[in-house]
Amino acid sequence: MQGNDSFRLIVRRGPQPNQIYELKEDVITLGRDITNNIVINDPEVSRHHLRLTRGAGSYTVEDLGSTNGTFVNGQRLTGAKPLSNGDTLGLGETVTLGYEIVAAGAASEPPPMSPGPQAGGTPGVYAGQQPPMQQPQQPAYQPIPESQAPDPVSYGHGEEQLYQQPGPPPPPSLEYDYDPYISREEEPRNTMRWVVIGCAGILLFCCCITVIGAVVVDQACLYDELPLVGDVLEVLGFFEDAAACL
């Protein structure tokens, strides 16, 4: 391993999955307390759980008397143990960390460039990279000839003339235009007409009853029994008939 390799811990299982902690200090403490270099807030993690010490080409892990223990690849840690690339650190039963060693320049080195245009390839594109999308070219602006320009429409004296594109006439409306004032004017007329018809009918009925009653009284000679009716008949011209009944 080279001396400028980088080291890191990745949370495989725990409160922040896929969280990456870069290991740069020579001595790093890990635990639930905020005074640690790496803080993992989990009930299975002790306040000061473990310590990482940098050695020749790697880190050495050491448990700090945690309650739930530290496990390296499933084995409980009883003393200091050097870590290798790909080792798994278990903190209790709920937190799992992955230990990785990244070689110098592996993350910053760009992928190789393609040597040149090949069959179906694009020059200047990284290997395995999709070629950039071509932007559609906008058509050039072409002015409208004067012969095809619409006639100007004036909107008043002193205003600029605007061009208005003539359009087709609107279709005739099939809906009935309801005017509320028409119904309000016709409604009183209809009511008055029915009132007049009703009054005329009542008056005609009363006249018929009067005539029929007069005829019945006259034919039956009921003037003495109905003095009030006799007076009415006298006014109506039935006095002579009333005298004949006496």
| Residue 61 near residue 45 (C-beta atoms within 8 A) | no
DSSP 85: T
Fold of the 6-102 domain = Tumour Suppressor Smad4 (2.60.200)
The string of pLDDT tens digits covering residues 196-235 is 888 999 999 988 887 787 777 667 766 566 666 666 666 6
pLDDT for 32: 94
pLDDT for 9: 94
pLDDT for 212: 81
Q: Where are the domains of the chain?
A: 6-102, 191-236
pLDDT for 138: 66
| Residue 67 near residue 118 (C-beta atoms within 8 A) | no
pLDDT for 224: 62
pLDDT for 184: 52
Residue 203, burial from CB neighbour count under 10 angstroms (0-12, 13-18, 19+)? exposed
Q: Is the pTM of this model over 0.95?
A: no
- Beta-ladder partners of 27: 53
The string of pLDDT tens digits covering residues 26-44 is 999 999 999 999 999 999 9
pLDDT for 214: 72
Question: Which of 20, 2, 3 is CA-nearest to residue 11?
Answer: 20
pLDDT for 159: 47
DSSP 126: B
pLDDT for 145: 67
Residue 155, C-beta contacts closer than 8 angstroms, at least 6 positions apart: 161, 162
pLDDT for 114: 42
pLDDT for 223: 59
Question: Distance between CA 121 and CA 129 in Å, rounded?
Answer: 11
Q: How far is CA 22 from CA 98, 144, 149, in A?
A: 12, 65, 70
Please give the single-letter amino acid code of residue 120: G
pLDDT for 110: 45
Q: Which residues of the chain have pLDDT under 50?
A: 1, 108-122, 124-127, 158-160, 183, 185-186
For strand 59-63 and strand 50-54, is the pairing parallel, antiparallel, or unpaired? antiparallel
pLDDT for 238: 59
Question: Distance between CA 88 and CA 10 in Å, rounded?
Answer: 10
